[in-house]
């Protein structure tokens, strides 16, 4: 139930704090730049549109209709759903493994610096 006043720093900032601040700023800028690059990469797909055939309801030029013909559509390309699932699962496992390795290396680095200081 006791409250303590906020402790003010009595010494000026050290270069160590300045380096950490600079590192955070660089990480924030890298995140923003990656986000902008990702949106720029997705922009052509987002702005794509289907061009209506001539003579359709949105066409300004009226062209005589073509004679009726039989059209067969054969789809050869594509990826099966199970393949997409395997790719997503593999990406999730690789991401989890990378996060685990980075976390353990950071923990080991902190423990080593704490014992040497």
| Structural domain includes residue 20 | yes
Predicted pLDDT at 58:
63
Digitized pLDDT (tens) for each residue of the chain, 117 residues in all? 566 666 665 655 555 677 788 888 999 999 999 989 988 887 877 677 777 666 666 656 556 666 677 666 666 667 778 888 999 999 999 999 999 999 998 888 777 776 765
| Structural domain includes residue 63 | no
| Structural domain includes residue 42 | yes
101 is in which domain, residue-wise? 85-117
Predicted pLDDT at 73:
66
Q: DSSP string spanning 37-71? A: HHHHHHHHHHT--PPPPTTSTT-SS--PPPPP---
Predicted pLDDT at 95:
94
| Structural domain includes residue 74 | no
Please state the domain count of the chain.
2
Predicted pLDDT at 53:
67
| Structural domain includes residue 4 | no
Predicted pLDDT at 80:
77
């Amino acid at each position: 139930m006791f409250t303590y006043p906020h402790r003010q720093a009595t010494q000026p900032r050290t270069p160590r704090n300045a380096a950490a601040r600079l590192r955070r700023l660089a990480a924030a800028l890298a995140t923003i730049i990656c986000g902008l690059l990702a949106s720029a990469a997705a922009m052509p797909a987002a702005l794509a549109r289907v061009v209506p055939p001539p003579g359709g309801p949105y066409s300004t030029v009226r062209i005589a209709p073509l004679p009726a013909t039989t059209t067969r559509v054969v789809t050869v390309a594509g990826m099966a759903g199970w393949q997409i699932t395997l790719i997503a699962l593999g990406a999730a496992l690789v991401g989890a493994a990378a996060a685990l390795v980075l976390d353990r290396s950071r923990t080991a680095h902190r423990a080593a610096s704490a014992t040497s200081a």
